[in-house]
Amino acid sequence: MALTKEILMEMYLRMNHARHFEEKVAYFFSRGMVHGTTHLSVGQEASGVASAMALDDGDLASLTHRGHSQAIGFGLDINRMMAELLGKETGYCKGKGGSMHIADIENGNLGANGIVGGGYCISTGAALTQQYNKTGKLVLCFSGDGSTNEGTFHEAVNLASIWKLPVIFFIENNLYGMSTHIEKSMNIKDIADRAKSYGIPGIIVDGNDAIEVYETVAKAAEGVRAGKGPVLIESKTYRWQGHSKSDAQAYRTKDEVEEWKEKDPIARLRKFMIDQGMATAEEMDEVEKQAKENMEKAVEFARESPEPPVESVTEDVYA
Ligand SMILES: Cc1ncc(C[n+]2csc(CCOP(=O)(O)OP(=O)(O)O)c2C)c(N)n1
Ligand SMILES: [Mg+2]
């Protein structure tokens, strides 16, 4: 899929949606209106949004615990996402799942996942289904750097490789797994190197460059669809916020965070569009305004939606 102005403007809108969505979630969390915990992907919007947008209709994806940008990139409805976070009946899981369980199975969104590394097995299984049923569709498996130290990563990537399953393992390397820097948890610099062990391509992308992310995933998808087997893409990025809503961030310096804020993926896409003459500053302003308005509407939708009825408490859950 060639990168047209239309796609880029939609990408810019979704990246802005992701940023505003999480600003709202952080605010609601601080007011005690979002329960459990939540993991923000501020700073990772290009990585999550552009990769998911490079998929074709009917492709599938599994998301991580840090999945808001990924979900919005995949095209999920921000109204229903906001309702889910606020525990409302109109949410994706009728308000019972929250941030780490946003899922839309009928439309190929296999869900966010509170189990680190859980998506590898789900995606590999779903990819086997695509191959068996000859659907021509593929699965984008989102995961984090820390998860590549889990057994599920090695087992799933190996199986996907030998069976040439249509899956892209998209690893968002934001340098940390909770408070642990990757230098302390693995003896290699690039996670892409791990692909070699399984005989599949390992590609590194600048995860803060939406264009590079999109083009790399779209190109990898061609080979995967043609039956050449899985690809691992390492997206180098950074989360601006703490790991979750309870993180004093004693493990990193303010300077490091500031350095990465300079690499803001949203500002970068805006600059690219204007510098390339693909859009005017006014057009970009208009998208930003639209994104803010859409988010206010999403909040209104969620706040006005009903609570799930008490009688439904045991519906749709396993016991
Ligand atoms: C199987 C499992 N082990 C541990 C945890 C606790 N935990 C939640 S997030 C996280 C760090 C994951 O790091 P990474 O994969 O790099 O993703 P990031 O949070 O950086 O996006 C851990 C250890 C968990 N949820 N599941
Ligand atoms: Mg990480």
Cα separation of 44 and 209, whole Å? 10
Cα separation of 207 and 45, whole Å? 9
Q: Within 13 Å of residue 63, how many CA atoms lie on the same side as its CB?
A: 31
Q: For the chain, give the number of residues.
A: 319
Question: What separation in Å is there between the alpha carbon of 179 and the centre of ligand 1?
Answer: 10
Residue 318 confidence (pLDDT): 75
Residue 319 confidence (pLDDT): 61
Residue among 40, 116, 239 whose CB has most ligand 1 atoms within 8 A, to mutate: 116
Cα separation of 112 and 99, whole Å? 8
Vertex 139: Cα angle to 93 and 83 (nearest 5): 20
Residue 209 confidence (pLDDT): 98
Cα separation of 171 and 148, whole Å? 8
Q: What atom of ligand 1 comes closest to residue 114's alpha carbon? A: 25
Residue among 42, 99, 178, 251 whose CB has most ligand 1 atoms within 8 A, to mutate: 178
Q: What atom of ligand 1 comes closest to residue 39's alpha carbon? A: 19
Nearest to residue 142, comparing CAs of 219, 71, 63, 214? 63
Q: Note down pLDDT in tens along the chain; length 319 residues.
A: 579 999 999 999 999 999 999 999 999 999 999 988 899 999 999 999 999 999 999 999 999 999 999 999 999 999 999 999 999 999 999 999 999 999 999 999 999 999 999 999 999 999 999 999 999 999 999 999 999 999 999 999 999 999 999 999 999 999 999 999 999 999 999 999 999 999 999 999 999 999 999 999 999 999 999 999 999 999 999 999 999 988 999 999 999 999 999 999 999 999 999 999 999 999 999 999 999 999 999 999 999 999 999 999 899 887 6
The residue type found at 234 is E
Which residues have beta carbons under 5 A from ligand 2 (an ion)?
A: 144-146, 174, 177
Residue 34 confidence (pLDDT): 94
Cβ atoms of residues 87 and 303 within 8 Å = no
Kindly state if the Cβ of 112 falls inside 6 Å of ligand 1: no
Nearest to residue 111, comparing CAs of 102, 124, 123? 102
Q: Ligand 1: which residue has its CA nearest to atom 21?
A: 144
Cα separation of 44 and 15, whole Å? 9
State the pairing for strand pair 176-177/167-173: unpaired
Kindly state if the Cβ of 116 falls inside 6 Å of ligand 1: yes
Secondary structure E strands in 12-124:
60-62
Domain boundaries, the chain: 5-305
Q: In this structure, which ligand is nearest to the CA of 67?
A: 1
Q: Ligand 1: which residue has its CA nearest to atom 12?
A: 177
Cα separation of 146 and 160, whole Å? 20
The contacts of residue 268 (CB under 8 Å, 6+ apart) are 46, 208, 209, 210
Q: What atom of ligand 1 comes closest to residue 44's alpha carbon? A: 21
Kindly state if the Cβ of 119 falls inside 6 Å of ligand 1: no
Question: What separation in Å is there between the alpha carbon of 291 and the centre of ligand 1?
Answer: 30
- For 5-305, CATH number? 3.40.50.970
Question: What separation in Å is there between the alpha carbon of 305 and the centre of ligand 2?
Answer: 34
Kindly state if the Cβ of 178 falls inside 6 Å of ligand 1: yes
**177 three-state secondary structure:** strand
Long-range contacts for 211-214 (Cβ within 8 Å, ≥24 apart)? Answer: 211/3, 211/8, 211/50, 211/269, 211/272, 213/46, 213/47, 213/50, 213/51, 213/54, 214/3, 214/7, 214/11, 214/50, 214/51, 214/53, 214/54
Q: Ligand 1: which residue has its CA nearest to atom 4?
A: 116
Question: What separation in Å is there between the alpha carbon of 116 and the centre of ligand 1?
Answer: 5
Beta partners for 306? Answer: none
Kindly state if the Cβ of 176 falls inside 6 Å of ligand 1: yes
